Each structure stands twice: as structure tokens, then as C-alpha cells.
């Protein structure tokens, strides 16, 4: 029996005060990831600070024409919110491609960013894993690594970030608002998650005593030409082998601006501004999209069981960009399940 204290935070200041006072404490929001990790003995918090009742559940327009999403907005509410459906359908599609309706009802926006990898060895406490136990080794590099990363890997960890929502947020160029003991700060989405390097136990650049309060979307949502394409082993309730968030702004048949982010291939949603810049001014056709795919994947490296992901990603990028250009986004089969 492991004793765990439970406390409810009254407001954001109280939440920060409580987490700063106990480095072994954890916030709990929807609990869909944290409780699983506790059951598997991967996470062992001394104290759960329940933030689920904090007033961070609104989706509002900002003065500059963007949208601010409270960190506790459930994934379902966000996907079906009229502002998101109409102006940021890429984000809506990505959320609906994830998990199940029941899980999306519980899962929070902030929790989705901080969900941990689905590497099997990370969950299996009988095996070495640098992310779970720094310095113990990586069982995946020479083990079963079919779902693992092909970009941004290190000698210590080849895990992927499992979120769908985050891939769309990376493409849209969102910002993350956080509050810690010194006050508030904003982190560009591209800088929020990190590559493993020598410290794979650290998933993000959020400090341990900070809370995510909101995600901010810029005014431009690429609502006319976008696609979120998720390739997975089953059509629902499965994490991405490869996913692509593609968004284009077109002028006639030429690309004025392009956004491209990949999921399921790295320790963070993978985006390369140079691969996007190379598309600007080009004709929106298969040749351009193939060049973009080759460029984005130029440093991809496979392991024993996941080399197939390189070609899969290349084809998925071309398909998603073609769908975006044609204004025929990948339809989500679960789009009607609320």
C-alpha cells in the first residue's frame, strides 16, 4: 500500500504554492494518463494536487483575433467548440483522431501536452529505461522499436511524443501560457517539448513548479486548406505510427505559406521551418510536396523494426499536403460521435 495525499487547489496561485512546496507532488487534471502511470508504478507522486476545478475552462477570442483556450477545457469540448470547428478545423480534426470519445471527455488541454510516451519499456518497470530511471539504459534501441522515433533521437532514448492535438498546435504556431512562483511566462509551442539528448527524463521545458494555464492560437487558422492525416494500426483507439498536420495558404495554384508538422516520429511534434519556407512560391503539386517530404525527412534514421516509418511518413506528407491543397481534408470516421 502506497500512501498518497490528496489536496484540491483553490486557485492558480494556490496550485503553484502547493506544487512549489513539494517537489514529489503532481497536478492531476483529467487523470487519464497520470492514474494509469500510477497503477503501473511508473509515477509515484507523494501528493496529488487536484486542479480540475480551477476556472480554466473557457475558450475565448483574444483582442488580436486569436483564441485563448483554458488549460482545463476538455478535449471533446475543444474539438466541438464553434470557434475551433470553424476557424481551426485542423486542431479539431487532430483532437478527434485521438483516443476515444470517453477519454476525450475527461482529458484536458494542458494534460494532453504533458502526457508521457507510450514506449512499452517505459511502462514496464522490469526493464531498463532512461526516461523512467535515468542512467539505467534504453531497452528500445536494440529491442522492439516499431513505434519509436526516426527523427531527433539520441543514444539515450528513441521515444515518441504520443499526442495528436500537439501536432496541430505545432503547425498552427500556438503559444503556451504558464504560471510559476516568479509569475507568468509564455512558451512558443515549438520550444515547449524537447528532444531527449542526455536527459530523456525531461519531456518539456515547463519547470516542475509551473502550471499550464492556457494555450493561445494566433488569428490565422488555415481553415480553407488543411488536413490531419493519422496512420495507425487500428482506425480508432490507437496511437499514431505517423501523423501529419498540413496547412496551406494558396494564391491561385501557388503556395503563399505552408505549415507541416509530424507526429509519431520524434520526442516532440516535428516541424522544420526550412521545409515550409522551401514550399513558398512553388506550385502546389505532387513534385513540390515530394521535395518538401524529402527535405523534412532528410535526417531520418530508422532502427531494426521502424525503418518503414521513413517511407510511410514521406507518403503521408504528400497525401496530406495534396488533401490540403484540394480542400479535401482527411475525414475522421468518428466525427459524428459526440
Binding site for ligand FAD (CB under 6 A): 26-34, 36, 51, 71, 98-99, 103, 106-108, 110-112, 114-115, 162-165, 211-212, 239
Closest CA to 271 of 328, 197, 331, 191: 191
- The site for ligand SF4, by CB under 6 A, has a size of 14
42 binds ligand SF4 (CB under 6 A): no
Comparing CB distances to ligand FAD, the nearer of 43 and 294 is 43
Burial of 312 (0-12, 13-18, 19+ CB in 10 A): middle
119 binds ligand SF4 (CB under 6 A): yes
Partner in contact with 131, chosen from ligand SF4, ligand FAD, none, beta carbon below 5 to 8 Å by kind: ligand SF4
What distance in Å separates the CA atoms of residue 167 and residue 176, rounded to the nearest whole number?
14
* Nearest distance from C-beta of residue 273 to ligand FAD, angstroms: 24
Burial of 50 (0-12, 13-18, 19+ CB in 10 A): middle
* Nearest distance from C-beta of residue 226 to ligand FAD, angstroms: 18
Q: Which of 34, 96, 157, 320 lies at the binding interface for ligand SF4 (CB under 6 A)?
A: 157
Contact assessment for residue 153 and residue 196, using Cβ atoms and an 8 Å cutoff? yes
What distance in Å separates the CA atoms of residue 97 and residue 294, rounded to the nearest whole number?
25
* Nearest distance from C-beta of residue 129 to ligand FAD, angstroms: 17
Comparing CB distances to ligand FAD, the nearer of 242 and 258 is 242
Element counts in the chain: helices (H) and strands (E): 13, 12
Q: Which of 158, 176, 275, 293 lies at the binding interface for ligand SF4 (CB under 6 A)?
A: 158
Partner in contact with 157, chosen from ligand SF4, ligand FAD, none, beta carbon below 5 to 8 Å by kind: ligand SF4
Comparing CB distances to ligand FAD, the nearer of 211 and 300 is 211
What distance in Å separates the CA atoms of residue 290 and residue 307, rounded to the nearest whole number?
18
- Binding to ligand SF4 by CB under 6 A, coded x per residue (else -) over 301-320, reads --------------------
What distance in Å separates the CA atoms of residue 32 and residue 167, rounded to the nearest whole number?
19
159 binds ligand SF4 (CB under 6 A): yes
Q: At CB < 8 A and 24+ separation, what contacts does 20-28 make?
A: 20/180, 20/181, 20/209, 22/46, 22/47, 23/208, 23/209, 25/49, 27/51, 27/211, 28/52
Comparing CB distances to ligand FAD, the nearer of 141 and 262 is 262
Closest CA to 255 of 215, 224, 233, 232: 224
The residue range among 38-46, 117-125, 175-183, 290-298 that interacts with ligand SF4, by the rule CB under 6 A, is 117-125
Contact assessment for residue 187 and residue 175, using Cβ atoms and an 8 Å cutoff? yes
Contact assessment for residue 162 and residue 81, using Cβ atoms and an 8 Å cutoff? no
Comparing CB distances to ligand FAD, the nearer of 107 and 151 is 107
Interface residues toward ligand SF4, by CB under 6 A = 117, 119, 121-122, 129-131, 138-140, 157-159, 200
Amino acid at each position: 500500500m502506497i500512501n498518497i495525499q490528496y489536496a484540491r487547489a483553490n486557485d492558480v496561485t494556490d496550485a503553484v504554492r502547493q506544487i512549489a512546496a513539494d517537489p514529489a507532488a503532481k497536478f492531476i487534471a483529467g487523470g487519464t494518463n497520470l492514474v494509469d502511470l500510477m497503477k503501473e508504478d511508473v509515477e509515484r507522486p507523494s501528493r496529488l494536487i487536484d486542479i480540475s476545478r480551477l476556472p480554466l475552462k473557457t475558450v475565448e477570442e483574444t483582442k488580436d483575433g486569436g483564441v485563448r483556450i483554458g488549460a482545463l477545457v476538455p478535449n471533446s469540448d475543444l474539438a466541438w467548440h464553434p470557434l475551433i470547428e470553424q476557424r481551426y478545423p485542423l486542431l479539431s480534426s487532430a483532437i478527434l483522431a485521438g483516443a476515444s470519445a470517453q477519454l476525450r471527455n475527461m482529458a484536458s488541454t494542458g494534460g494532453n501536452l504533458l502526457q508521457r510516451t507510450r514506449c512499452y519499456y517505459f511502462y514496464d518497470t522490469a526493464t531498463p529505461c532512461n526516461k523512467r530511471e535515468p542512467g539505467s539504459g534504453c531497452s528500445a534501441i536494440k529491442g522492439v522499436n516499431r513505434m519509436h522515433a526516426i527523427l531527433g533521437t539520441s543514444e539515450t532514448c528513441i521515444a515518441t511524443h504520443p499526442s495528436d492535438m500537439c501536432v496541430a498546435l505545432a503547425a498552427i504556431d500556438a503559444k503556451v501560457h504558464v504560471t510559476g512562483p516568479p509569475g507568468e511566462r509564455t512558451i512558443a509551442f515549438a520550444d515547449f517539448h524537447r528532444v531527449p539528448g542526455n536527459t530523456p527524463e525531461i519531456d518539456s521545458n515547463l519547470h516542475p513548479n509551473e502550471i499550464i494555464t492556457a494555450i493561445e492560437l494566433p488569428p490565422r487558422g488555415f481553415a480553407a486548406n488543411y488536413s490531419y492525416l493519422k496512420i495507425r494500426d487500428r482506425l480508432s483507439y490507437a496511437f499514431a505510427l505517423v501523423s501529419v498536420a498540413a496547412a496551406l495558404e494558396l494564391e491561385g495554384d501557388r503556395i503563399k505559406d505552408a505549415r507541416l508538422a509530424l507526429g509519431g516520429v520524434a520526442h516532440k511534434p516535428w516541424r522544420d521551418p526550412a521545409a515550409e519556407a522551401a514550399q513558398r512560391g512553388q506550385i502546389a503539386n505532387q513534385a513540390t510536396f515530394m521535395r518538401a517530404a524529402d527535405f523534412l525527412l532528410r535526417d531520418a534514421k530508422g532502427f531494426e523494426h521502424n525503418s518503414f516509418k521513413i517511407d510511410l511518413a514521406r507518403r503521408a506528407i504528400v497525401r496530406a499536403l495534396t488533401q490540403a491543397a484540394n480542400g479535401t481534408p482527411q475525414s475522421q470516421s468518428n466525427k459524428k460521435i459526440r
